[in-house]
Structure 1
Amino acid sequence: MAWNAEPHLNWILTHARMKGLQVLVDGLGLRLRDEGMALMRVRLGMRTTHPLTAALSFLWEHGGGPIVQFTAPQGLETRSSYVGSPMEYIGQTRKPFRCSLREPLGPEDHVVLHELQRRGGTDYYGVPLDFVEGAGGILMLVSEDPEGFAEDDIVLIDTLATAIAPIAEAHGNFHLATAIAQSYLGPRTGQRVLDGQITRGDIEQTEAAILFSDIRGWTALNTTQSAEHALDVANRYFEVMSDAIDNNEGEILKFLGDGVLALFPSDGTDAGQVKACRQAISAAHAALGIAKLADLPVPFGTGIHYGALLYGNVGARERVDFTVLGQSVNIASRVEAFCGRLDEPVLISAPVARIAGVATRHVGTEVLKGMDAPMALHAPIGI
C-alpha cells in the first residue's frame, strides 16, 4: 500500500519528541500496526558514553507487555549477542540491513535472526540513524506479514528514520550529560549542575554531616607495589566506600587521591541533624563490614564532623569546580587525620557524638590543626 507519511511525521515531531524515546517507539509500533503494517517488533538502539553502560535500547513488541528502556554493559563489542549481528553490521557500515526470514537461515546468519524467525518473524529491516556527533543510532523493525515488508513499507521506514534521528540524538545527548554529571559529581550535585547551577560564585550555605576517609599507608603501598597494583587497591577501596555511602543516602562529592569526601545533607532541623549524623556513622560502620567481606588488603580511617558549609561553584573564569568549603570541612579532615595516630578506624567529633546520640568511647581530646581550642574525639561503640 502507498503510505501517507505526513501524519506520522507530524506525530513524531510534535508529540513523541517531547515524551521520550520509549514513548516514541511504543507509539510508532502501535500507529503502524493500526494502519496495516504487520509489525512484530520495533527497536531503537544507540551507543552511549557511560562508565557502566555501552548502549541503550528501547523496544516494543506486538502483543507483549510494557517494556522499558534496557541497557547493555560495557564490553558489548566482544559479546556473542553483538558480534556478527545486524546491529554490528549497521553500526560499522552505517548502511541499512535487510534479511528475509521467510526462507531457511544458515549457520552464517546470526542467532538473533534465527530467534526472530522461530517466533514468527518474516522480515528484518534495520536502518542507521545518523547523528551530527558520535556513532549514531539504529532503528530496527521486524514484520510478521506472510509476505514480509513491502517496498512502500521500506520507503516509509526510511522517511520516518530521518525524523527520528535528531530526536534520538537529542535524547542521547541529554543522557550523556546526565551520565557525566552524575558520574563525576554524584546524583544530587550532578542534578544541580544540569539544572543550571554552573556560574562561578553560585554558592549556597547548607548543613551536613561531612565524612572524610582515606587509605592508611598509601605512600608505603606506592613505594613497595607497582602502580597497577596500587590503582587496583584504590579502586577496590573506592567501591567499598561508594557502596556504604550510597546505601546510607550519602553522596560522594570527590575522590581526593586515595581519599573520599562525602556529604550527608541535613535540612538543619533537630531531626535532620540526627538523621545526617547517624547515616554518616552507619556508612562508616558499613564500609568496614564491606571491606572485610571483600578482603580489602589495606586499612583505612574515617572521620566525621557536622556543621555548616558552603556548597557550590568556585574556580577561574573558564574552569569551575563544584565543591564544599568552610571550617566544618576542615574539621572533618582533621578528625580523620587522627585515626592512624589513635589507632581507631572511625572517629567522630564531639558535635557528631552529641547530635547522633549513639554509644561512643571518648578516645582523646586533641587540638586540631588550625583550631585554638581542643576538641574531644569519640569512637562509636561497636565499630
Structure 2
Amino acid sequence: MEKNRAYCLYYYVFGDLMNQRGGRDEFVSQGYDTWNKKDAFRTHEGSVDSLHNKAKEKCDFLLREKQAINIVLRRQTEAEDHKYKDRLRVSIIAVRLLLKIGLAFRGHDEWVNSGNRGLYIEVLKAIRVTNENIFNNTLENTPKNNQIISPKIQKDLVQCFVQEVLLSIHQEIGVDVFALLVDESSDVSRKEQLANIRGQGYDRASNMREEFNGLKALILQENDTAFYIHCFAHQLQLVVVVVAKKHDGVSDFFEQISLVVNVVCASCKRKYILRDQARERVQKGLCSGELETGRGLNQETTLVRAGDTRWGSHFNTLTSLVKLFADVLVLLEFVQVDGGSLANRQQASGILAYFKSYEFVFYLYMMYDILRLTGTLSKQLQKKIQTF
C-alpha cells in the first residue's frame, strides 16, 4: 500500500467471498487518490445491498464479541476446565478417603464390565450417584483419555497428598527440634516396610547404624544436630534373644515349639481338627462347671506362629500352646497314626515324647513367666509418655 491513497478494508477482506472482483482495484490494489472527485467514496459505498455494505456486514459479524471464534473457543475451554475441576474434585475425595483408612486403590480386574473394579473406581461410582452433574461428568461419560482413573494418575494424586503432608509437617515443626523413630518389618513378600514413626531412634542393624551408608549417617548429613538414640525396647528384646540363643536348653525348646506349630498348621484339615477338639472341650467344661462363662472368656483361638524379628511374639505362641495343650495332644496322636507319611508320623512321635519330658515342662513355665514380664516392660518402654 502506498501513502496518500485510500483503501477499503471491508472490500479488501471480504470481496472475494462474494465472487465479485469488478471495480475493486481502485480501493483495494491501487488505492484511490483522485481527491478532486468528492462523490467517489459515496459511490463506492453504494446502497444498502451494495458489495461494500455486504462486506462491511460480514466484517461486523466477525468482530462481534459473542460470535468471534476466539471467544467461542475460550468459552468452550472454560466449560471443559470446569468439568475437569469437578471430576478432579471427586477423585481427590476418593483418594483422601482411601489414604485415611489405609486401603488399597487397585483391583484385579478394572475393565468396565467387572463386578469390582478396585476401591478407587468403586468409590468414584458411589459418589457420582449422589449428584446428576457429577454423574454426567465422570467415568464413561467423559473422554477415555480424561477420566482420571489410570494407575499413573492414581499414583500422582497420592504423591500430591504426600507432598501436602510433608509441607504441613514442615510448617508445624518450623525451627523447632523434632524426633524421628524409624523401624522396619518385612511384609509377606519379604520386602522391608517403614513403620512406627515416633522419634529418631535406630536398631542395631547395619542398614540403620552404619557409619557411612546407614540411615543414621544419611540423617546426620542433613542435620548434624540430630541425636542418635538406640531404642530401649529394642535393646531389651536383643538381650532376651541373645540370652535365649546362648542357652542350649532354651534354644532347643523354642525349636521344638516351632516344630509343633508347623505340624499343627500344616494343613486346613489339622486346623479344623484342632478347632473342633477345642470347641468340644469348652462345651464339656461349661456343662460340668469346670469353666466359667463371661465376656472375653473361652474365645476360639489357634496356635500363633512366632515372628523371626519380634521376640515378644514368642509369648503369644506359648500362651496359645498352654490354652490348647490338651487339644494339641489329641491332634498329635492323630498325626502319629494317620500322618500320611513316615516323616510326619515320626515328627508327631518325637514331639509327644518331648512333651512328656521334665525339660519341656520346666522351660515352658520358666519362659512363659520371663516373656510375660519382659513383654510388660517392653510395652511400658514404648509408651508415648515415656521420657528418658
**TM class, shorter-length:** under 0.3
TM score, norm. by length of structure 1: 0.28
TM score, norm. by length of structure 2: 0.28
Q: Pick the structure with more strand per residue.
A: 1
Q: Pick the structure with more helix per residue.
A: 2
